[in-house]
């Protein structure tokens, strides 16, 4: 029966479209995930959330078939219980959408595997995360299809699930927008969630249909075996649902901080810059940055080491607040945001400039607006210099004066030789440090 | 063999079938009666859709009850007056689904489907989608649904409604081949009864007014009673008599 449903399911017509959407989402959102396993896994998992709307609609359509086709009455006295007759249809919907999701993920695997980066072990958690969303959507759609009927059920189920998924997705970490290298999916937690989704689907299948239109005087519950046999499986599945709901709620979010790696990717002489091993593809960029740091004049105070976020320090968050662990003497950290090298050098420039300039000791005192803007210019020049010039790939919402100062700094990094730029920076540092505090 | 004793059935405060006792051997039993006589309710009760309020139903060696429900259901083929189908199914898939859902064991299923398709003359239409069938073909598919797996009890509710004369002749021919089952055929059409029924049950106001052969019903006919055939006159005479009582 499962194969028969697979052959006849209208979902089969959507498979090429769904697959195209998956691949388009994978490549059109961004491409910095290529070469980094957790980012690839998250990017390839994301389409499942969008496709889950279609999955919910398809599930509702499938289960409402007896109401639509008028087969309710002739099905009432069948030997095979109703839940077994519904199961192949629901399973076919799950199979199609899981297949589409996995095929989309396979594209991601193939693209990233070519660069053979470390960290493939981080992938399975994201795969299960996609499965959870699909199975939950099918469970929801199946339940809706038992209440409503016909085409209406499918439209309501699909749209309602998308709204729910978008709302709960944020609240319950149902999906991950960006596979941060310092996070991982806890396999136990996500597996419990998958089991919970499966029992929810089982419960939806066991639910008595409210949408069956049967002719004549046929009372509710007609055709069902006597009460105890009907209630038995429902009671077991309901109990399992409650237990797994408690377990899933107790385990919390499946997204957790990764432990520090045994060996980070560190390089540099004057300064050590360390990356997560999974960010191997940024090694070359970082090597160029460390070489430029090495060439900086002595009036810049450079920390001995920069760590990518999560290696030696990370913020801890709870539902209500975000607080920071005591950094102690741990090195300053940087992020690689959306694959941007500018996000590395921006953090480094901020740290180096902060250490190299003499700020006012008294709280509330400053050296004046113009002098402060010169510091902004210096910081943005250093950011641009460390990248190797060019225009930044980000925008800020700073004041127009500060944006203008930043633009001047970036422009300076594109003008003249390094010696000329260093001479300009030297004058600027001297001027800043000698300016009086007000 | 189907034995019904002291059967009562109803909905809410309404009693539809009152103390019905019948015995049916293998063969075609036509169920005649005016609208509201309780024919469909009787068929649904026999189909195990609604448990009887009172009384006993025995099919071959099994008496209907919670313990025997599955066994009895596996022996019943039921075709309601308005039966439906998934238009995306082929004829073969439709009948195969019936065999599966009626509990025909996997090894015997394919043969059972083939047999039902052959009996209904749908062998060459097995791969045709249900949505592409004519009304007569759809009705034959419905009969295939009802007879697949050779059930002991076949319940057909107004199966010839909407069929043209040729299709009705074809239908009668198919049903006549089912010799090893009790066939209960609910109908308004006395020419169907004339053509194929071995026994006739006339229901009125929830009771059986008559059970016997079509010839016996004809003998009850009053020449002045309305009707075009002796059977129709027998039927109308019987109902007129029951009204007078």
For residue range B174-214, list pLDDT tens digits in order.
888 887 899 999 988 888 888 889 999 999 988 999 999 99
**Least confident window among A210-214, B30-34, B219-223:** A210-214
* pLDDT band at B79; cut points 50, 70, 90: very high
Helix (H, G, I), strand (E, B) or coil at B58: strand
Burial of B71 (0-12, 13-18, 19+ CB in 10 A): middle
Mean pLDDT in residue range A411-433:
90
Which residue in A72, A216, A227, A230 has the most chain B C-beta atoms within 10 A of its own C-beta, making it the best mutation to test that interface?
A216
Supply the ipTM of this predicted assembly: 0.85
From the CA of B198, how many Å to the nearest CA of chain A? 26
Is A79 close to B84, i.e. CB distance below 8 A? no
Is B11 close to A217, i.e. CB distance below 8 A? yes
Beta-carbon count within 10 A of B137 CB: 18
What was the pLDDT predicted at A20?
95
* pLDDT band at B159; cut points 50, 70, 90: confident
Is B93 close to A75, i.e. CB distance below 8 A? no
Nearest by Cα to A204 from A60, A48, A95: A60
A8 closest CB neighbour out of B50, B79, B89: B89
Query: Right CATH number for B1-75+152-220 from 3.40.50.300, 3.30.70.890, 3.40.50.720, 3.30.70.20?
Result: 3.40.50.300
What was the pLDDT predicted at B55?
93
B201 touches chain A (CB under 8 A): no
What was the pLDDT predicted at A325?
47
Is A70 close to B96, i.e. CB distance below 8 A? no
For residue range A300-310, list pLDDT tens digits in order.
999 999 999 88
Work out whether the CA dihedral B47, B48, B49, B52 comes out positive or negative. Answer: positive
What was the pLDDT predicted at A154?
93
What was the pLDDT predicted at A228?
46
For residue range A353-374, list pLDDT tens digits in order.
988 888 877 777 777 788 788 8
> Alpha carbon of A201 to those of A160, A210, A237, A344: distances in Å?
17, 17, 10, 45
Strand partners, A307: A274, A333
From the CA of A40, how many Å to the nearest CA of chain B? 39
Q: pTM here?
A: 0.86
What was the pLDDT predicted at A438?
77
- Asked if the model's pLDDT at residue A318 lies above 50, the reply is no
* pLDDT band at A230; cut points 50, 70, 90: low
- Asked if the model's pLDDT at residue B21 lies above 90, the reply is yes
Let me know: does A100 contact A18? Beta carbons within 8 Å.
yes
Is A79 close to B83, i.e. CB distance below 8 A? no
* pLDDT band at A17; cut points 50, 70, 90: very high
Let me know: does B51 contact B66? Beta carbons within 8 Å.
no
B93 touches chain A (CB under 8 A): yes
Token pair belonging to B133: 């069938």
For residue range A240-298, list pLDDT tens digits in order.
878 888 888 888 889 998 888 888 999 988 889 999 999 999 999 999 999 999 999 99
From the CA of A96, how many Å to the nearest CA of chain B? 18
Proportion of chain A above pLDDT 70, given as a percent: 91
A77 closest CB neighbour out of B73, B83, B89: B73
In chain A, the residue whose alpha carbon lies closest to the alpha carbon of B142 is A74
Helix (H, G, I), strand (E, B) or coil at B185: strand
- Asked if the model's pLDDT at residue A229 lies above 70, the reply is no
- Asked if the model's pLDDT at residue B120 lies above 70, the reply is yes
Token pair belonging to A388: 């190797």
Sorted by where each begins, the domain ranges of chain B are 1-75+152-220, 83-151
Is B86 close to A8, i.e. CB distance below 8 A? yes
What was the pLDDT predicted at A320?
40
Is B41 close to A217, i.e. CB distance below 8 A? yes
What was the pLDDT predicted at A218?
62
Which residue in A73, A82, A220, A232 has the most chain B C-beta atoms within 10 A of its own C-beta, making it the best mutation to test that interface?
A73
B78 closest CB neighbour out of A77, A80, A219: A77
Which residue in A78, A89, A231, A232 has the most chain B C-beta atoms within 10 A of its own C-beta, making it the best mutation to test that interface?
A78
Work out whether the CA dihedral A194, A195, A200, A205 comes out positive or negative. Answer: positive
């Amino acid at each position: 029966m499962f194969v028969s449903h697979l052959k006849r399911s209208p979902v089969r017509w959507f498979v090429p479209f769904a697959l195209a959407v998956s691949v388009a989402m994978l490549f059109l959102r961004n491409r910095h995930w290529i070469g980094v396993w957790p980012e690839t896994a998250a990017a390839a998992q994301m389409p499942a959330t969008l496709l889950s709307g279609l999955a919910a609609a398809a599930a509702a359509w499938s289960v409402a078939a007896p109401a639509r086709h008028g087969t309710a009455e002739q099905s009432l006295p069948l030997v095979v219980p109703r839940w077994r007759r519904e199961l192949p249809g629901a399973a076919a919907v799950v199979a199609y959408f899981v297949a589409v999701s996995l095929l989309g993920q396979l594209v991601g695997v193939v693209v990233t595997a070519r660069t053979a980066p470390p960290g493939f072990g981080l992938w399975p958690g994201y795969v299960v995360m996609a499965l959870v969303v699909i199975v939950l959507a099918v469970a929801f759609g199946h339940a809706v299809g038992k209440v409503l009927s016909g085409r209406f059920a499918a439209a309501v189920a699909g749209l309602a699930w998308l709204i729910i998924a978008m709302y709960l997705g944020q609240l319950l970490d149902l999906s991950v927008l960006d596979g941060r290298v310092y996070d991982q999916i806890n396999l136990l937690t996500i597996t419990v969630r998958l089991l919970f989704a499966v029992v929810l689907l089982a419960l939806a299948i066991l639910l008595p249909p409210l949408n069956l239109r049967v002719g004549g005087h046929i009372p509710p519950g007609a055709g069902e075996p006597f009460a105890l046999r009907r209630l038995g499986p429902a009671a077991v599945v309901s109990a399992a649902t409650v237990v797994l709901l408690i377990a899933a709620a107790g385990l919390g979010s499946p997204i957790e901080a990764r432990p520090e790696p045994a060996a980070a990717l560190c390089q540099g002489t004057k300064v050590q810059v360390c990356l997560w091993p999974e960010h191997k593809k940024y090694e070359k960029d970082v090597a160029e940055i460390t070489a430029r740091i090495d060439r900086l004049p002595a009036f810049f105070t450079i920390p001995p080491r920069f760590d990518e976020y999560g290696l030696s320090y990370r913020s801890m968050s709870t539902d209500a607040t975000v607080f920071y662990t005591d950094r102690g003497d741990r090195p300053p950290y940087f992020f690689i945001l959306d694959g941007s090298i500018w996000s590395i050098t921006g953090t480094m420039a901020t740290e180096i400039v902060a250490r190299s300039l003499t700020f006012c000791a008294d709280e509330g005192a400053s050296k004046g607006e113009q002098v402060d803007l010169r510091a902004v210019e210096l910081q943005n020049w250093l950011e641009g210099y460390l990248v190797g010039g060019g225009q930044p790939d980000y925008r800020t919402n700073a004041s127009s004066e500060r944006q203008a100062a930043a633009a001047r700094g970036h422009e300076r990094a594109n003008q003249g030789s390094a010696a000329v730029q260093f001479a300009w920076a030297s004058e600027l540092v001297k001027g800043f440090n000698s300016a009086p505090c007000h | 063999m189907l034995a019904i004793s002291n059967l009562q059935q109803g909905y809410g405060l309404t009693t539809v079938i009152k103390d019905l006792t019948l015995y049916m051997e293998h063969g075609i039993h036509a169920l005649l009666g005016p609208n509201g006589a309780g024919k469909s309710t009787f068929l649904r009760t026999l189909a195990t859709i609604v448990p009887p309020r009172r009384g006993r139903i025995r099919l071959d060696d099994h008496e209907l009850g919670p313990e025997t429900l599955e066994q009895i259901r596996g022996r019943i083929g039921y075709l309601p007056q308005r039966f439906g189908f998934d238009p995306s199914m082929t004829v073969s898939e439709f009948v195969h689904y019936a065999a599966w859902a009626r509990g025909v064991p996997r090894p015997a299923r394919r043969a059972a489907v083939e047999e039902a398709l052959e009996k209904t003359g749908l062998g060459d239409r097995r791969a045709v989608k249900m949505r592409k069938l004519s009304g007569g073909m759809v009705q034959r598919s419905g009969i295939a649904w009802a007879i697949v797996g050779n059930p002991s009890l076949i319940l057909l509710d107004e199966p010839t409604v909407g069929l043209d004369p040729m299709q009705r002749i074809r239908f009668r021919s198919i049903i006549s081949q089912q010799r090893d089952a009790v066939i209960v055929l609910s109908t308004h059409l006395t020419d169907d009864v004339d053509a194929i029924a071995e026994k006739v049950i006339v229901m009125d106001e929830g009771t059986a007014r008559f059970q016997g052969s079509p010839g016996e019903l004809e003998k009850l006919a009053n020449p002045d009673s309305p009707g075009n055939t002796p059977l129709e006159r027998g039927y109308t005479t019987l109902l007129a008599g029951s009204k007078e009582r």
